[in-house]
Amino acid sequence: MTRDGHIRLLSTHVANKVAAGEVVERPASVVKELLENALDAGATRIDVNITAGGRKLIEVRDNGSGMNRNDALMSIERQATSKIRDVGDIERITTLGFRGEAIPSIASVSRFKLRTRTGESDSGTELSIVGGSLQDVRDAGVPVGTSIEARDLFFNIPARRKFLRAYQTEQIHIKGVFVLNALAHPETGFSLACDGREQYRLPPGASLDERICELFGVEYFESLRRVDKQMLGVHVHGFAGVPRQGGGERQQQYFFVNKRPASAAVISYAVKQAYAAGDSESRAALILFIDTDPGKVDVNVHPAKREVRFNRAVDVREAIICALREALGIRHVPHPAVEPERRGGTTGVSPISLRALDPAAAGAARGLPEPCPAPMRDAPRGPGEVSGSGAVAGYPLQPQGIPAGAGLPIPAAPVDESASLIELPEEGSPWKWCRVAGHLKERYILLETDSGYVILDPCAARERILYEKLLAHKQGERTASQQLLIPEAVKLSPADADRLRRNLKFIDQMGFRVVDFGDDHFMVEALPSVLGEICCRELLLNIVHDIEHAGKRRGSEQWIEEVIARSLSHTGSARQTKHSADEAEKLVKNLAATRMPYTCPRGKPTMIFASFRELERKFGR
């Protein structure tokens, strides 16, 4: 490489290679660009065929409007497009593709063939291009529409080709792009064939409900709640899943802006805020469409058009939060940055500022009793007046550390004095004895022990107990299986199905019996007996997610099984119900018998302990 410091124009050949690097990252990028062109051409039927993960062949056929000979030749020129005419059009993009870079970029890194015909022409046109060089132009007898073949991707750029992943991995990325476009356009029929085997055949004229069922299954669809809200010039619609403790739907979140698969920081933030009222750790399933005036969206931010930017991001954020919380049944207070008249209000003071001015209203909004009146410092002492401790007769003393007007804390459940003492084994147990004293928030268990009190998280405790039972076969006792009376069919996304398929051997060793039926369908015939009743789809999704994010350790099958056991125990422990005294006693005994009773397998505490000495010190005794 020579560097003499002088500026020169790049040759067309080199410029095309540079542009191809922006547009064509991998085979899935080619599929994305060609699908978008087909949809912009008004196609009602699009067929995709790939070989070897798209390395050897990517073929996309559509029945759209097609091109005449002149347009076909112009399409292989850089910056040639039918979708914008002047600068003003850039500010109101209504098509998926518009830059005029896709066809020449793809043709410059492949053996490219384009066949096309319009409805007004008796014959079509065929172009053959190799590595960006036009080889042949001729008439061809082809149906109305456009068919494009890209063979031997990156054959002329070995440095790019060697960075492609395995065939299966590239195929998963292609399936992901296919699913996105099929969701965005349920009115269009799609098909996908990989290595001669049909993966999807989706009929045209479908509704979004039908398309979701076709792609993910009826069970998945029935777990969603419908979202439909129009406000502030933004229409938010689609479906949202209810988050569950233990998660499951972490990867299946799809966002579309004016039917374009895209993302934006404000969308992620709004979704996080909408679900913030729940205490689940999972990311719920989402298929969300955000429609607004094209003039208020900049789709030209990212080179690959993956991200968009909104002119009024605060309106989009407010619409998403309000739509999701309404669908999920969560009360929403509008953000103060959204003007009251835009929300339909009549006052210039926001609800947030009203609650700040009126502490009693703040407490009432949370379902708390009215706050205690502030003590009168200079009032005379006497019956019915202010006591020396600062309490007012007839009112309880405001607890220290809680600001006046914040409302009283929610009390714990009454202590059951008749609860029997739980004798614990001497070796390895945290205490000699304990007693169930009550519940907090109908979720946590309050225990009295020989040396203090303990707040126990039943979910974390069950997770530790299940984890050690699942790994019991490490010491020679194999995890027992329980046959399902009716085997459960589960359909996963392409990426999740591939991860599950690669780890079926380890999953079977944990007490499962899962049969791969192909086309991303699995049949669950047996589960580990310690799990009880559980949603098989959620369980399998948790397993593949944890395997994906746990990293890799070379040659460690034991590590994989431990990851699966952690995932199973986390899912199986998700039940949040108030325990009876007998159930709480049994849980405490089982936890005390584990090797590590103080934390769950994920490292979170199962209990919080406070000694009596610490209590006495805080009370000044």
Per-residue pLDDT tens over the stretch 464-483: 888 888 777 555 455 677 88
Stretch among 243-257, 372-386, 501-515 having the lowest mean pLDDT: 372-386
User: What is the spatial distance between Cα 461 and Cα 572, in angstroms, rounded to a whole number?
Assistant: 11
Structure tokens at 125: 């046109």
Both tokens of 586, joined, read 């049994």
Domain layout of the chain by residue ranges: 12-204, 223-339, 422-457+578-618, 464-572
Report the candidate in 259, 287, 258, 282 with the shortest Cα–Cα distance to residue 272: 282
Q: Which of 435-444, 452-461, 478-487 has the highest mean pLDDT?
A: 452-461
The span from the CA of 391 to the CA of 208, in Å, is 62
Query: Distance (Å, rounded) from C-alpha 253 to C-alpha 285?
Result: 5
pLDDT higher than threshold 80 for residue 413:
no
* pTM of model > 0.85: no
- Can you give the pLDDT at residue 152? 95
Give which of 191, 244, 250, 242 is closest to 547, Cα–Cα: 250
What's the pLDDT score for residue 552?
57
pLDDT at 75: 85
Residue 51's pLDDT is: 96
441 has pLDDT over 60: yes
Tell me the β-bridge partners of 115.
126, 147
Rounded Cα gap, residues 112 and 136, in angstroms: 11
464-572: CATH architecture:
2-Layer Sandwich (3.30)
| Confidence tier at 508 by pLDDT (50, 70, 90) | confident
- Residue 289's DSSP bridge partners are 237, 256
Q: How far apart are CA 284 and CA 519, in angstroms?
A: 24
Is 416 within 8 Å of 582 (Cβ atoms)?
no
Q: Do domains 422-457+578-618 and 464-572 have the same CATH topology?
A: no
Q: What is the CATH number of domain 12-204?
A: 3.30.565.10
- Cα–Cα dist 376/381, whole Å: 10
Alpha carbons 169 and 400: distance in angstroms, whole number: 58
Q: What DSSP state is assigned to residue 307?
A: B
pLDDT in tens, 261-307: 888 889 989 998 888 755 444 568 899 999 998 888 887 666 556 77
Residue 333 vs residue 385, higher pLDDT:
333
153-164 pLDDT tens trace: 999 988 888 888
Mean pLDDT of 390-397: 33
d(CA 496, CA 254): 15
Is 60 exceeded by the pLDDT of residue 19?
A: no
Task: Specify the pLDDT at position 321.
Answer: 93
Which whole number is the average pLDDT over 118-129? 94
Spatial contact of 239 and 223, defined as CB atoms under 8 Å apart: no
CATH fit for domain 422-457+578-618, picks 2.140.10.10, 3.30.1540.20, 3.30.1330.10, 2.30.30.90 = 3.30.1540.20
Q: Among residues 103, 217, 218, which one has the least CA distance to residue 520? A: 217
Is the separation of the CB atoms in 447 and 434 below 8 Å? yes
What is the distance between the terminal CA atoms of the chain, rounded to a whole angstrom? 81
pLDDT exceeds cutoff 80 at 66: yes
pLDDT at 576: 52
Q: Which residue has the higher pLDDT, 399 or 100?
A: 100
Mean pLDDT of the chain: 76
Q: How far apart are CA 393 and CA 216, in angstroms?
A: 63
223-339 CATH pick, 3.40.50.300, 3.20.20.70, 3.90.850.10, 3.30.230.10: 3.30.230.10
Contacts of 214 (CB under 8 A, 6+ apart): 200, 202, 206
